[in-house]
Amino acid sequence: MSSSSAAAAADSSEYPYEEGGYTLYSNYACPFAQRALRAFHVAKVPYKLVEIDLQNKPTWYHLVNPQLKVPALRTPSGDLLIESLVISEF
């Protein structure tokens, strides 16, 4: 499985995502985000990982998840999923 990690810049005007692929917005310390990460590893689905600093959220993150929580998933079609259980079942 190939996954890449990108640091989320707090001053980006657009949010980062993998064109035509899955992008998982996560934080290593969040158990809900870990659930989604484990599901991707088990399914062996390639994805781009964007770590979100929960103490200093990027200004663009509301475009991904208006609740400003992790995890969130952007699908290849551009749909955004924001609940860890929904992401895991997807």
pLDDT tens for the chain, residues 1 to 90: 444 444 443 333 488 888 899 999 999 999 999 999 999 999 999 999 999 999 999 999 999 999 999 999 999 999 999 988 899 988
Q: Which of 39, 48, 41 is nearest to 74 (CA)?
A: 48
Q: Looking up tokens 């259980």, which residue turns up?
A: 85
In this prediction the pTM is 0.82
Active-site residue set: 30
